[in-house]
Amino acid sequence: MSSKLTSAALLAASCLLAGPAFADCKPLSIVASVDLAPTADIRPFVPVTFGDTRKTMLVDTGGTLTEMLPSVADALGLKPGHGADAHSVRWRTYEAANIVHDAPTVLVHASMKLGNLVARNMEFRVTSDDDLPADDATVAGLIAPDVLGNYDVEMDFGARKLNLLSQDHCEGKVVYWNADAVAIVPFEKMPTGHIQFPVQLDGKAVVADLDTGARATTLTRGVASRDFSVEVGDAATPAAGNPPQYRHVFKTLDIGGVVIANPGLLIVPDVTRNMRAKAGAPPLGTRLSDKRIDETDQALRIGMDILRHLHVYIAYAEKKIYITAGSPSPAPANAPHPAS
């Protein structure tokens, strides 16, 4: 898969970090810096261009493959089956009802620009994603960990800024902005690209996933009932909407020392409950081995209702997340800046 963004402006985009804390370290290097696109959606969208066509893409750390909507592929002349730049593979997916699908997936290639970075012959999965805003014609698709995982990803939601940084730097020396406290959370990177790590919910350990593609933070119903005695539909966990959703307010969510008070979580079905039982030897030609997609321990998905109040730095190569409180003081003068 040739989806890693590249740019001749890479060196021009770098800037040394001075000061004693970074004196012996290879400096951080920002390779792309963009403002988040203005949108009514709580999730982060970034401006991109395909040739002369301007669009936005959802930055989705909970995705798997970078995706393009069929209407955009058609408008760009990337219709399936036309030329060497379009082909299909088989991809094994899991649906909410724990049904395994092994179906053809259409892939196309296009050049895309994000800030200073230009991806040539970039691969996109063509799919109709019901979770993308249908009423926003600027949305082209989503950028998933198959691309994001090639970089450090900094998301300053208070300043509405996304930075992609080179992974070639001194380990651990990444928090260049002013912060009273920094949570450093080791994580496991799954072959899907999802990142899983332990958190404390009301003082109990829960395995979580950081998902910028999710609007709400959710907890699986089985864990909610077994470990927290949550009963959906009672006075503490009322139903709302149609179909009904259940929301429960917990006391604290502790992410490596960053504590969120009174988080309201949606209680959702255990969509991965039977995944381990269904996982077997992968059919020839699939992209992922089913056993190693196993994410059955994940119970809590941290969405944008919580993340929007934080400043998050995902160091994919280090397998660590650095988190500070949102709305930090202005960055010091020696902070890295993208090229003008």
The predicted model gives 277-290 an average pLDDT of 45
pLDDT of residue 207: 95
Q: What percent of the chain has pLDDT over 90?
A: 61
**For 241-261, what is each residue's pLDDT tens digit?**
888 899 999 999 999 999 999
- With 80 as the cut, is the pLDDT of residue 41 above it? yes
Give CA–CA dist 337/320, Å, rounded: 23
247 class by beta-carbon count within 10 Å (0-12 exposed, 13-18 middle, 19+ buried): middle
Stretch (H or E) spanning 71:
helix 70-75
**CB hemisphere CA count around 323 (13 angstroms):** 22
At residue 130 the predicted structure's pLDDT band, cuts being 50, 70 and 90, is: confident
Residues 85-109 as b/e (b if ≥16 CB within 10 A, e otherwise) read ebeeeebbebeeeeeeeeeebbbbb
At residue 274 the predicted structure's pLDDT band, cuts being 50, 70 and 90, is: very low
Give CA–CA dist 210/254, Å, rounded: 14
**For 85-94, what is each residue's pLDDT tens digit?**
455 555 544 4
- With 80 as the cut, is the pLDDT of residue 151 above it? yes
**For 136-148, what is each residue's pLDDT tens digit?**
999 999 999 999 9
**If you average pLDDT over every residue of the chain, what do you get?**
81
Lowest mean pLDDT among 1-5, 190-194, 225-229: 1-5
- Contact 112/50 with Cβ under 8 angstroms? yes
pLDDT of residue 243: 84
DSSP label of 65 = S
The predicted model gives 200-228 an average pLDDT of 96
The predicted model gives 10-27 an average pLDDT of 47
The predicted model gives 101-124 an average pLDDT of 85
